[in-house]
Structure 1
Amino acid sequence: MPTLFNTLKLSVPLTTLLLAGCASISKEECLVADWYAMGVTDGSQGRALAAFRDYQADCAKHQLSSDFEQYQAGHQQGVVNYCVYSNGVALGRQGNNFNTLCESERFEDFQEGYFQGQQLHQMENKLAKLRRDMASIESRIEQNQQQLKDNQASIIDENSTKTQREELLKDNDRLRRDIRRLKTDLGALAELEEETDLELSHYLNSIQL
């Protein structure tokens, strides 16, 4: 699927997900290492081929050899295991960068999954933000309503002065205006939240997970 592949190359930072992590191996592991199997394991976890350099350095400290050819062969098989649709979806949905191990056009399923995962990530983030904003407005409404009650109690308090009552009445007018405005904003967000939730549900039903 050249179009999708080109889109990924242009729009996604091509940074391997696990490249930043350092691989290490002990002297005992160097002695019994199955380099092909290690390559398969690392490739299947999306680790870059460069992980071998760390193993090589660790073994060299103990004057022990390492087998790059076997590791590379295993790694190639591991990459095939890793660059599948489901991993692409998971990577994109988590908001992680595209894994350059899967940039070859033969991994179209992974690329399609990553693109769909990105779409899910964006919609889920949008929905989460809408719900946070709604919760914030609801909290402000509750605070204003409580302040109205507190003001009302002070207004009828016989110890309050005329000036204090007048100020509290003005404050109540402001609080009521704020509450009306906040409720209007909340209603608009609720409609948008419902639309976004429905859009997300339809999208989830339209793709393979």
Structure 2
Amino acid sequence: MFRACALRRPAAPAASARRLLRLSVLGAALALLAGCAAMSEQECRTADWREQGLRDALDGQPRSRLADIHDACAKAGVRPVDGLYLDGWSRGLSQFCTPDNGARWGRQGRSYANSCPPELEAAFSDRYRAGRRAWDAEQAVKRLQGEQRDRQRALDQAKDDAARRQARDQLRALDWRLRDAREELDRAEWSLRQPY
């Protein structure tokens, strides 16, 4: 007797969601630590404070970065020149907080420290979120492709029918998830290409 079967999309396993959450938290912690790296004593002694402010702004650092610099440079007996630093930081911020840079920053998967002033925040953040959505979708595709390679190896090395059947079922489930992830990446990239 012939029976028509509807294809059902398998649900994503909870373990993958937990693993992704752990990786996201770890990545955010590492980005935070990297963003808080203080200046060395030598850098404090030779700093061009206006240039330092400009560089920090172009790197997306918030205004509170100056307090970190004060702490680091106090150990070297150097006091940063706040006026020069903030002048450079303000100039850099006007270059950093553009919609195009927001899209680029998000597409590179970089974290954003809410450094843009209110009048520039909305445009930057909107494009940053669009870029970040594309980056996240791309990472999901890469992760699923890695899982697919692992499952294919498991299928190739399977010794019995039950193990082969399980690996094939897992590969089918991954095919669905990978197709959805690629579609999400296409949508995100399309959205990112739209004029602001």
* 3-state SS in 2 of match to 1:139: helix
Q: Aligned to 2:153, which of 113, 135, 139?
A: 139
Flag the 1:185–1:60 CA change in 2: closer, same or farther, 3 A.
closer
Structure 1: give runs of 5+ residues left out of the alignment. 1-12, 148-174
Flag the 1:188–1:126 CA change in 2: closer, same or farther, 3 A.
same
Cα distance in 2 for partners of 1:103, 1:72 equals 13
Residue 85 of structure 1 deviates from its aligned partner by 2.6
Flag the 1:182–1:91 CA change in 2: closer, same or farther, 3 A.
same
How many residues are matched?
A: 162
Deviations 1:130-162 (A, max 9, x none): 212211211111111xx3xxxxxxxxxxxxxxx
Residue 90 of structure 1 deviates from its aligned partner by 4.1
Flag the 1:77–1:186 CA change in 2: closer, same or farther, 3 A.
same
Alignment of 1:25-36 (within 5 A): 25-27=43-45, 29=46, 33=48, 35-36=49-50
Letter in 1 for 2:180: E
Q: TM-score, normalised by structure 2?
A: 0.65
Letter in 2 for 1:113: R
Residue 68 of structure 1 deviates from its aligned partner by 1.6
Residue 73 of structure 1 deviates from its aligned partner by 1.7
Determine if the alignment matches structure 1 residue 80 to structure 2 residue 94.
yes
* 3-state SS in 1 of match to 2:193: coil
Alignment of 1:31-50 (within 5 A): 33=48, 35-50=49-64
Structure 2: give runs of 5+ residues left out of the alignment. 1-27
Letter in 2 for 1:203: A
What is the match of residue 39 of structure 2? 23
Residue 26 of structure 1 deviates from its aligned partner by 4.8
Letter in 2 for 1:75: W
Deviations 1:188-208 (A, max 9, x none): 322331232133123212313
Contact 2:103 2:192 in 1 (8 A): no
Contact 2:58 2:93 in 1 (8 A): yes
RMSD: 3.3
Contact 1:43 1:75 in 2 (8 A): yes
Letter in 1 for 2:133: Q
Determine if the alignment matches structure 1 residue 112 to structure 2 residue 97.
no
Flag the 1:65–1:129 CA change in 2: closer, same or farther, 3 A.
closer
Q: TM-score, normalised by structure 1?
A: 0.61
Contact 1:86 1:113 in 2 (8 A): yes
Contact 2:107 2:135 in 1 (8 A): yes
Determine if the alignment matches structure 1 residue 68 to structure 2 residue 82.
yes
Contact 1:39 1:71 in 2 (8 A): yes
What is the match of residue 160 of structure 1? none
Letter in 2 for 1:22: A
* 3-state SS in 1 of match to 2:39: coil
Letter in 1 for 2:95: N
Q: Aligned to 2:173, which of 188, 201, 205?
A: 188
Determine if the alignment matches structure 1 residue 197 to structure 2 residue 185.
no
